[in-house]
């Protein structure tokens, strides 16, 4: 089918939608039955996806011209104007956004100089043994979107929630975010026919109180909380969310001769840390080499108390036959990530809330060799080159596969604030970051950013961290980010950050930022902003409109594109940057980069 015929189908379907108001849709569309407009749009999307390659081969010049016409905006099911309630898509079992893995941040209006892109899109051609072979640094200067992807589907960015926020009192939102929705959720999973993992840590809603001083969960579950520096912008509390992350290794990594050993577990955790950060040595809690049966500090003597671990070829304990692999986790490694509201007390102190927005779980189901990973990344690049629409295998209660050995499972609030499993499209969104960016290490963000050594084992504490630079850089990471983005978030719409840390001429107040005692002082919001962000997100929960975006915004986005013009590069070459997700913690921890150690 030629592209003109496809566009006619889509325009016709979109015209039907634009003529319907919310009331008529609600009245005429029965639950779990796709309305004709939904079917038409879905079929149009399928026609475009199925015939895209053939159309390009038959008439490449026509396709190129059509890509940049106003009609391109019609290729999404619903344009940003004339909203269709998100619940109607869910009830109908239809996919709204077939390019859900492209996050909202990728539609930022950069003006070709403001660069938030570098923290995701990177290439490491000078590091041939680095397992992430996506090498997508070129995307800082080029859009690699499909014909569907060039249209921004994240309509929540353009919703003005001012009136909705004003209807929620401060008292009501504080009461809401301080409720525990995690414990009832775990109980419900246990009492239902749920067949998947139960992501339980007793008293997790209490945050740090669920773990001991070194991060080990008090309930014996094996989950270990670690202190890490949040990724620039996305998980800064000033931009809407707090969070925590825990890691758990397989039982063999916690045992020696079939019995649990805290020493073995923390020795293996230290080895995993060095494998991912690609370092040669690190510090740890006190470990008994005699009990473990391994010379951890490589001094030729088995000592009853050591605090230094040197990288070895294999793990220890009952995992002693498992080799360490550069920047790869062992098979069976799992992460538990909770995304929460921004809690605030009368004094304005910011902390995690008991209520959870999301509970995210990922587990490495299969270890892939460097060769296998290289093949997967090659396929990823090939699919992007031919602009094929992405897909993910859905395993029901087990979650979705990212095709790189990991399975991702997510839970999110329902309309009443109770946690439920995310649907396919909501979980599909997660694969965009945990697979399709070049900066990550073995599909993860947080653990490569763990505070190095013993200081990094424990519940996240923003007040314990200074603005450490990235590997290969000298200036603090967050200060550098503010300068490169020219704002306090990807969209440059966090007015509080602009007021606090930027001068009137738009430049960063470098000395003011450098004078701060910790990153908490830089990236946490005022009490007023925290309350309003919580209210804004609650309205998204009430709408169940996560497929339209999960970002809590206090106004409509102005620095976000509705439509991508692929002829205009995102950034000029001089504003593109090389960057490493890892941090140089040498000022606070004993850690040496592996590539600087003579082997």
Average pLDDT, the chain: 86
Strands, DSSP E only, in 195-349? 224-225, 242-248, 255-256, 259-260, 279-287, 306-310, 334-344
Residue 587: the pLDDT is: 58
Greater confidence, 189 or 83? 189
For residues 5 and 62, give the distance between their C-alpha atoms in angstroms, rounded to a whole number.
Answer: 12
List CB contacts of 325: < 8 A, sequence separation 6 or more: 131, 275, 370
pTM: 0.85
Can you give the pLDDT at residue 419? 98
Q: What percent of the chain has pLDDT over 90?
A: 74
Q: What is the pLDDT of residue 78?
A: 40
| Average pLDDT rounded to a whole number, residues 226-250 | 97
Q: Residue 63 pLDDT > 70, yes or no? A: no
Q: Look at residue 8 in the predicted model and tell me its pLDDT.
A: 35
Higher pLDDT, 450 or 386: 450
Name the residue among 65, 151, 56, 15 with its Cα closest to residue 385. Answer: 56
pLDDT at 173 over 50: yes
**pLDDT for res 270:** 98
Q: How confident is the model at residue 231 (pLDDT cuts 50, 70, 90)?
A: very high
Among 65-69, 181-185, 248-252, 538-542, which stretch is predicted with the lowest mean pLDDT?
65-69
Of 18-32, 145-159, 222-236, the one with minimum mean pLDDT is 18-32
Q: What is the mean pLDDT of residues 190-210?
A: 98
Give percent of the chain above pLDDT 70: 84
Confidence band of 83 (pLDDT split at 50, 70, 90) = low
pLDDT reported for residue 378: 86
Rounded average pLDDT over 31-41: 34
Q: Which residue, among 576, 311, 578, has the nearest Cα to 470 in the 3D structure?
A: 578
Residue range 584-589: mean pLDDT, rounded: 71
pLDDT at 9 over 60: no
Taking residues 400-425, what's their average pLDDT?
95
DSSP 518-539: SSHHHHPPPHHHHHHHHHHHHH
Alpha helix segments (H runs only) across 86-208: 86-92, 162-166, 170-177, 182-191
Q: To which residue do tokens 């015929």 refer?
A: 5
**pLDDT at site 383:** 78
Between 342-356, 376-390, 462-476, the lowest mean confidence (pLDDT) is in: 376-390
- Provide φ and ψ at 361, rounded to 5°: -135, 135
Q: Is 331 helix (H, G, I), strand (E, B) or coil?
A: coil
360 sits in which H/E element: strand 350-364
17 has a pLDDT exceeding 60: no
Task: Find the mean pLDDT for residues 4-8.
Answer: 38
pLDDT at 67: 31
Residue 226, pLDDT score: 98
> Between these two residues, 400 and 50, which has the higher pLDDT value?
400
| Nearest-angstrom CA–CA distance, 410 and 429 | 10
Q: Which residues contact 31 (CB under 8 A, 6 or more apart)?
A: 91
CB 140 within 8 A of CB 570: yes
Q: Cα–Cα distance between 353 and 52 in angstroms, integer? A: 46
Secondary structure (DSSP) of 75-124: GSSS-SSS---HHHHHHHT--S-TTTTS-GGGGB--TBT---GGGT----
Overall average pLDDT of the 47-55 stretch: 37
Provide the residue ranges of all domains of the chain, joining segments of one domain with +. Answer: 1-96, 162-249+332-540, 251-330
Please give the Cα distance from 508 to 515 (Å, whole number). 13
The per-residue pLDDT for range 417-471, each reduced to its tens digit, is 999 999 999 998 888 788 789 999 999 999 999 999 999 999 999 999 999 999 9
Decide if pLDDT at 16 tops 70.
Answer: no
At residue 358, does pLDDT exceed 70? yes
**Predicted local confidence at residue 74, as pLDDT:** 31
* Span 514-562, pLDDT tens digits: 999 999 999 999 999 999 999 999 999 999 999 999 998 998 999 999 9
**Residue 49: pLDDT above 50?**
no
Q: What is the pLDDT of residues 90-105, one digit of tens each?
A: 888 889 999 999 999 9
The pLDDT assigned to 286 comes to 98
């Amino acid at each position: 089918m030629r592209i003109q015929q496809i566009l006619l189908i889509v325009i016709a379907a979109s015209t039907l939608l634009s003529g319907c108001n919310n009331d008529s849709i609600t009245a005429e569309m029965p639950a779990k039955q796709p309305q004709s407009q939904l079917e038409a749009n879905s079929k149009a999307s399928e026609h475009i996806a199925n015939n895209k390659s053939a159309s390009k081969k038959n008439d490449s010049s026509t396709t190129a011209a059509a890509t940049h016409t106003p009609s391109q905006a019609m290729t999404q099911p619903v344009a940003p104007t004339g909203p269709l309630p998100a619940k109607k898509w869910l009830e109908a079992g239809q996919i709204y956004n077939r390019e859900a893995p492209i996050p909202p941040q990728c539609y930022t209006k950069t003006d070709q100089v403001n660069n938030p892109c570098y923290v995701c899109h990177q290439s490491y051609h000078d590091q041939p043994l680095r397992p992430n072979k996506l090498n997508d640094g070129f995307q800082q200067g080029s859009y690699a979107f499909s014909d569907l992807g060039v249209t921004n589907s994240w309509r929540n960015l353009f919703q003005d929630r001012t009136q909705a926020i004003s209807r929620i009192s401060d008292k009501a939102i504080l009461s809401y975010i301080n409720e525990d929705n995690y414990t009832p959720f775990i109980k419900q999973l246990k009492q239902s026919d749920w067949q998947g993992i139960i992501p339980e840590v007793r008293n997790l809603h209490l945050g740090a109180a669920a773990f001991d001083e070194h991060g080990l969960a008090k309930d014996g579950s094996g989950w270990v909380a670690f202190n890490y520096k949040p990724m620039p912008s996305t998980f800064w509390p000033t931009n809407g969310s707090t969070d925590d992350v825990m890691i758990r290794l397989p039982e063999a990594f916690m045992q020696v001769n079939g019995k649990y050993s805290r020493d073995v577990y923390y020795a293996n955790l230290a080895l995993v840390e060095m494998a991912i950060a690609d370092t040669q040595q690190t510090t740890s809690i006190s470990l008994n080499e005699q009990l473990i049966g391994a010379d951890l500090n490589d001094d030729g003597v088995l000592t009853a108390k050591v605090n230094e671990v040197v990288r070895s070829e294999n793990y220890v304990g009952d995992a002693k036959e498992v080799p360490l692999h550069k920047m790869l986790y062992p098979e069976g490694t799992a992460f538990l990530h909770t995304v929460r509201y921004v809690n605030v007390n009368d004094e304005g102190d910011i902390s995690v809330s008991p209520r959870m927005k999301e509970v995210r779980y990922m587990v490495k189901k299969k270890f892939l060799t460097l060769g296998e990973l290289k093949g997967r990344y090659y396929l990823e690049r090939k699919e992007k080159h031919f602009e094929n629409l992405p897909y993910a295998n859905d395993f029901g209660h087990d979650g979705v596969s990212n095709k790189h050995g990991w399975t991702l499972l997510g839970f999110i609030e329902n309309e009443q604030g109770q946690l439920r499993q995310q649907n396919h499209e909501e979980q599909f969104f997660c694969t965009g970051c945990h697979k399709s960016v070049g900066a990550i290490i073995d599909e993860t963000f947080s653990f490569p950013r763990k505070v190095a050594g013993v200081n990094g084992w424990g519940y996240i504490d923003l007040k314990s961290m200074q603005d450490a630079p990235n590997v290969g850089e000298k200036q603090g990471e967050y200060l550098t980010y503010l300068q490169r983005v020219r704002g306090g978030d990807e969209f440059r719409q966090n007015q509080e950050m602009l007021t606090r840390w930027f001068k009137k001429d738009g430049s960063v107040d470098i000395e003011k930022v450098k004078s701060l005692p910790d990153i908490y002082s830089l990236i946490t919001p005022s009490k007023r902003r925290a309350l309003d962000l919580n209210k804004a997100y609650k309205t998204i929960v009430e709408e169940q409109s996560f497929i339209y975006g999960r970002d809590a915004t206090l106004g409509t986005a102005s620095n976000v594109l509705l439509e991508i013009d692929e002829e205009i590069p995102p950034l000029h070459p001089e504003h593109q940057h090389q960057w490493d997700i890892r941090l140089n913690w040498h000022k606070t921890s004993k850690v040496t980069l592996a590539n600087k150690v003579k082997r």
